Amino acid sequence: MTSQQHAGPSRPPLPRGWRRRLARLPIAFYGVGLGPVFGRRLLLLHHTGRNSGLDRRVALEVVAHDRAEGTWFLASGFGPEAAWYRNLRASPKTTIQVGNRHYAVTAHFPSAEEGGEIMARYAPVRPRTARRLCAFMGFDVDGSADSYRRAGRRIPFVRLEAAPGQRVR
């Protein structure tokens, strides 16, 4: 298996039509200053198109946030081929918006083992969302920490680290 392939289920289909508009609605909320509506649950990620060089934006759920460390963790529900994930791989320095605050961040890509631990910690905090993410990606989980750990090893995670000196809230 090459590094471009991944074991497991195929990537879920990208949303189209009204589902795509619905999925992109949080971007519009951020655009008119309503980012605080999402609290710390969602963030707006700015990223640069790896081919076009254009500024892109996507609203993503925060899997975990460590205020003291100045880090946010994200999961790519569409796998390693998601445009934002690939763009961060090509250009890891970027900015995010959480509520009305902006942060300069650098993307890091945890190992599969780290991903398993991230998912095992996330599942008890957001059990319904964790089950849905796993089902969406085609992973079978039984609710145990071990089953979430196995699934998490196959989910691409991103750790965003705030630039030194930024006060993270």
> 3-56 pLDDT, tens per residue?
333 444 556 666 677 776 777 788 989 999 988 999 889 999 999 999 999 999
151 CA to centre of own chain: 15
| Closest to 8 in 3D by CA, of 134, 121, 168 | 134
Q: Is the pLDDT of residue 124 over 90?
A: yes
Q: What is the biggest distance separating any 2 CA atoms in the chain, rounded to whole angstroms?
A: 45
Please give the Cα distance from 36 to 169 (Å, whole number).
Answer: 13
Q: Domains in the chain, please, with CATH?
A: 17-162 (2.30.110.10)
Is-contact 74 87, C-beta < 8 A?
no
- Give the model's pLDDT for residue 22: 72
Is-contact 94 45, C-beta < 8 A?
yes
Question: Model pTM?
Answer: 0.85
Q: Between 108 and 20, whose confidence is greater?
A: 108
Please give the Cα distance from 31 to 37 (Å, whole number).
Answer: 12
- Give the model's pLDDT for residue 1: 35
What's the whole-number mean pLDDT along residues 127-136? 91
- Give the model's pLDDT for residue 168: 83
pLDDT in tens, 65-93: 999 999 999 999 888 989 999 999 999 99
Query: Considering only 12-16, 42-46, 131-135, 136-140, which range has the smallest mean pLDDT?
Result: 12-16
3 state SS of 13:
coil
